[in-house]
Amino acid sequence: MATIRDVAQLAKVSTATVSRVINSNGYVNEGTIKRVKEAIEQLNYFPNDVARSLFKGRSKMIALFVPDITNPFFPELARAIEDVTNRHDYTFVLCNTDSDIHKTTNYLNALQQKSADGFIIVSGSLTEDHLKNIQAPIVALDRIISTDISSVTVNNRIGSRQAVNYLRSLGCRRIAHIAGPEHVDNAIYRMRGYLDEVKHEDWFDSSYVVSGAYHFETAREAAVHLLTNNPRIDGIFAGNDLMGTAVLNAAASLDIKVPEDLAVIGFDGISMGERVTPALTTMAQPIYDMGAEAAEILIKQIRTPSQKVMREAFKVKLIERQST
């Protein structure tokens, strides 16, 4: 394998000159640049990125942390972030944390030791205290970690109110909610939006809200329990689309017809919602735009450390399908 010394010898320059050409750092005349590049090509030389990152304190690496890679929402986010980071010549790393705080902090510490340039984090468990020793820029995505950290989210509470009112417009009179994890802020805001619309109804009590934890099986069991114990429910707002598909599965197992006897709406806009039967009505987030915006904000903060904290809140959009 060729070394930087081999390149320098072939180009008849010093190793320092080769380094300046590779890193575009300092003046080198055009003739010398041409000779160095020809030597690099002839020797098939690859600069040592690890050594470069140790020298410069940068790795051209950006990491995305997600809580559950099996939830289709997160691969769709990851695709957008990968596209943007690749366009800016960054290496993209995906870390699945399983919402485990120890696993998350271990990833953070390991990647910081490798001079990762920045982090995009989807987490409901990380706090400012966990991040106090992280020197690289951070952007929170899909949920807010701290007022001191840039974030990209959507109008969860408003979108949830729209979902409930849409079900009402269809004639639903008893609308239940399958909620996400109680420690995740977007799940909290979606539940609050639901409660804004139904908590004063004479039929409402706490039994109309059950946790699905943003997981299919948990949400399916919760929906079976909900529909069995409250047979007059004629509408369900699920806190995300994965749980919405679980509600459809539960309804089918109980011989409840959707949408004739039960209208179901989710929240996210993942492609899976189009592929189930009946197709799932949803409050769609602009998933690709959110991921792309998070990546762009992070790259700005990497390049300009004095960049102020940025907040981006996208709107959600009703997409009507067969489940309503």
Cα three-residue angle 71-73-78, rounded to 5 degrees: 105
Domain at 28, CATH number: 1.10.260.40
Q: State how far the Cα of 122 lies from the Cα of 100, in Å rounded to an integer.
A: 12
Instruction: Judge whether 319 lies within some domain.
Output: no
Are residue 202 and residue 269 in the same domain, yes or no?
yes
Instruction: Judge whether 167 lies within some domain.
Output: yes
Are residue 12 and residue 112 in the same domain, yes or no?
no
Are residue 148 and residue 82 in the same domain, yes or no?
yes
Are residue 233 and residue 139 in the same domain, yes or no?
no
Are residue 200 and residue 173 in the same domain, yes or no?
yes
Q: Which letter does DSSP use for residue 69 in this model?
A: T
Q: State how far the Cα of 108 lies from the Cα of 254, in Å rounded to an integer.
A: 45
Are residue 168 and residue 121 in the same domain, yes or no?
no
Are residue 144 and residue 209 in the same domain, yes or no?
no
Q: How many domains does the chain have?
A: 3
What are the tens digits of pLDDT across the range 110-152?
898 788 899 999 988 888 888 888 889 999 999 999 889 999 9
> DSSP assignment of 196-219, as one string?
HHHTTSTT--GGGEEE-TT-HHHH
Are residue 182 and residue 144 in the same domain, yes or no?
no
C-alpha separations of 277 from 9, 252, 319 in Å: 67, 10, 15
Are residue 271 and residue 166 in the same domain, yes or no?
yes
Are residue 135 and residue 216 in the same domain, yes or no?
no
pLDDT of res. 54: 44
Are residue 109 and residue 127 in the same domain, yes or no?
yes
Domain at 113, CATH number: 3.40.50.2300
Q: Which domain holds residue 112?
A: 61-153+287-314
Q: Which letter does DSSP use for residue 66 in this model?
A: E
Are residue 127 and residue 75 in the same domain, yes or no?
yes
Q: State how far the Cα of 63 lies from the Cα of 52, in Å rounded to an integer.
A: 19
Residue among 2, 107, 101, 32 at smallest CA distance from 63: 107
What are the tens digits of pLDDT across the range 77-112?
999 999 999 999 999 999 999 999 999 999 998 898
pLDDT of res. 318: 98
- Strands in 138-141's sheet, in edge-to-edge order, are 91-96, 61-66, 118-121, 138-141, 150-154, 311-314
Residues 6+ apart with CB under 8 A from 169: none
**pLDDT (tens digit, 0 to 9) for every residue of the chain, 324 residues total?**
788 888 899 999 998 898 888 777 778 899 999 998 898 889 888 665 545 554 444 668 999 999 999 999 999 999 999 999 999 999 999 999 999 999 999 999 889 878 889 999 998 888 888 888 888 999 999 999 988 999 999 999 999 999 999 999 999 999 999 999 999 999 999 999 999 999 999 999 999 999 999 999 999 999 999 999 999 999 999 999 999 999 999 999 999 999 999 999 999 999 999 999 999 999 999 999 999 999 999 999 999 888 899 999 999 999 999 999
Instruction: Judge whether 55 lies within some domain.
Output: no
Paired tokens of 302: 């990497």
C-alpha separations of 176 from 86, 230, 235, 252, 274 in Å: 43, 9, 6, 17, 22
Question: What are the phi and psi torsion angles at 318 (to 5°)?
Answer: -70, 125
Paired tokens of 100: 């485990």
Q: Which letter does DSSP use for residue 48 in this model?
A: -
